Structure 1
Amino acid sequence: MTTNLAPTVPLLGGGRMPLLGLGTWPMTGAECTEAVATAIDAGYRLVDTAENYENEAAVGAGVLQASVPREEVFVTTKFNQKWHGRDLVTQALEAALERMGLDYVDLCLVHWPNPGHGRYVEAFEGLLAAQQAGLTRSVGTSNYTAEFLEALFDAGYVPEVNQIELDPTRPRRDLQAIHREKGIVTEAWSPLGRYHRDDLMAAPAVADAARELDRTPAQIVLRWEVQQDIVAVPKSADPARQVENLSLFDFELSAEQMAAIDALADPNADIVSPLEFGH
C-alpha cells in the first residue's frame, strides 16, 4: 500500500521531477537495495545516487526489485571529476547505467565543479552530449555556486537542476534567487541538516510547528522545503521513517510558521565549499 505520491515540479527540458525523494548515501549493498525497493513500494518516485556513493548497482537493483515499473521512477545519478570533459561524460554514464542495470537515468548531475581542474563548463557540455545520446533525460549540476553557474550561463547553458546543501539554517537564498530567475529547480541535499540536526529539530520554530500540527520535527523541516518547491532527498533505510518523510502533502505550514523557520537562517553556518572540496 502506498501513500499519496509527491507532487512534481516542471523542468526546463519539459520533464517533471518529484518534490520528495530518497537519498541513498552512505547506504550500500543489500541494505541499500532493500531501502530503495521499500521506498518505491511505499510511494517514493525519486531516488538519488552517485558514482562516488559506490552504491549505483545496489540502487539499480532496488529500482528493478520494486513493484513499480521502472519508467515511473525518477532516477538521478552524478559523475565525478575524472569524467570532466566534453568527450568523457558519455563514457561515465554508460558505465553508470551498466552498474545500475538500467537503459537510462532521468537526471544526471555534474557532482562538483572542481575548479582546480577548470573543466566545469566542459563537464556540462559532455553531459549535454550524453543527453543527446539518450543516456539521460534531464541534465543538471550539483554544488555549483554563483560563479560556476554564471560561467555556464555565459557559455549559453542553463542546468535544469542544481543540487546544493540546503536546510533552514543554510537556505542559500542567493542561489535560490538565481535559480528562480533562470527556471532552475533547487534540490536540497542534507535537507534535515548535516551535523546539527538535533539542534535544528529542537529549535522552537520547528518544535512549536510540530506540536501545533501534530507532526514530527523532521516533517516540519521537509515541509518547509517542499512548500517552496525545493526538492528534498532525505536518506532513510527505515520503512516507517521513509513513510513519515513522504507524508508531507496533506498539510501546510502557515505564513507565520514559514517565517519563523525562515528566521533560523544562520549567516555563519558552515557550508561545504566547492572551492575547498570536490570529487
Structure 2
Amino acid sequence: MIPDELLPRPFEGDAKEEVRAITKSSGTSFAAGMGILRRDRREAMHAVYAFCRVVDDIADGDADPGEKRAALEVWREEVELLYRGRPVSAVGQALLPTVAAYDLPKEEFLLLIDGMQTDADGPVVAPTRTELARYTRQVAGTVGMLSIRIFGAWKGEVSDRFALCLGDALQLTNIIRDVEEDAGIGRLYLPAELLEAEGVPHRPNAASSSPKLPAIRKTLGAEAEALYDEARLLAREHDRASLRPALMMMGAYEGYLLRMERGGWRLNPGTPLLSSREKLLRGLRYAFFGPGAPQAA
C-alpha cells in the first residue's frame, strides 16, 4: 500500500508551510543553496523540491511495482490539474503560483515522473549508455531545468545547456559514489558497456565488490569532470549571483569527485567523503568567488 501522505489528497492548510516542512525533514543537500535565495525564490524551490521528494519516495518505497505505478499515475494527473489551475494537494497548491511566476514547463515535471517510474518498475541494473543518459535527463536534468528558472538565471539555450550539463555531472558523481549503497538494494547504475569492457558481471553485488570497480569509477569520473569543466565555461555566460545555489551544489559535488580521485577511487562505504563543514565551505567558495579551476578536496 502507498501511504496516504504520498498521494495528492485534498489539502486545506498552509501549503507553503507543508512543502517547507517536507524540505526540512528530508535533510537534502540542496538546503544550503536554497537558503541563500530571497524568500519568494526559496519558497518556490521548496515547492519544486517537495514534488521531487514525494515522487522519489514512491519510487523508493516498499510498495509493489503495480502500486507504485498507480501512485505515480495519480501524480501525473495532479500535474495536469496543476496546469489547469486546479491542483488538490499541498504540493500542487504550493506549485501553482510558482509555475505561473517562473513559467515552469509542464514537460519537466512529467519527465521527472518518467524517471521515477524507471526505478519503480524494478531495480535498474547495468543500463546501456543510451538508457543511462535518458534516465539522467529525467531525474537530474529536469531539476536543473526547473531550478535555473526559479533562480532568475535563465536566458535561453545557454542556460538549458548549463542546467543539463551540471545535472549530468551531479548524477554521475552520485552514481560513482553510491555503487555499494545501490547494490544493497539491488541496483547498479554503472553502464553495461563499461562493465563489459572490464569483464565485470552485470550483477550489483559482483560489480560493487569487483577489483575492477576503481577503474570503472575512474573512467566515469573523467567523464563527470569533463561535464563540470563544461558547466564552468557555461557559467561564465551568466550573472554569477543568480547561479549561486547551483554553484554551491557544484562545489560540494566536485569535491566528492576530487576526494574519490585522491583515494584512488576506492571508497570506504559508510564513511562520508566530505564533512558538512567541508561541503559548505566548498559550496560557498564556488558561489561567491566562482568555480574557477577545480581545487583539491
The bucket for the TM-score relative to the shorter chain is: 0.3 to 0.5
Q: Higher strand fraction: Structure 1 or Structure 2?
A: 1
Higher relative CO (Cα under 8 Å, sequence separation at least 6) belongs to 1
Q: TM-score, normalised by structure 1?
A: 0.32
Q: Higher helix fraction: Structure 1 or Structure 2?
A: 2
Q: TM-score, normalised by structure 2?
A: 0.31
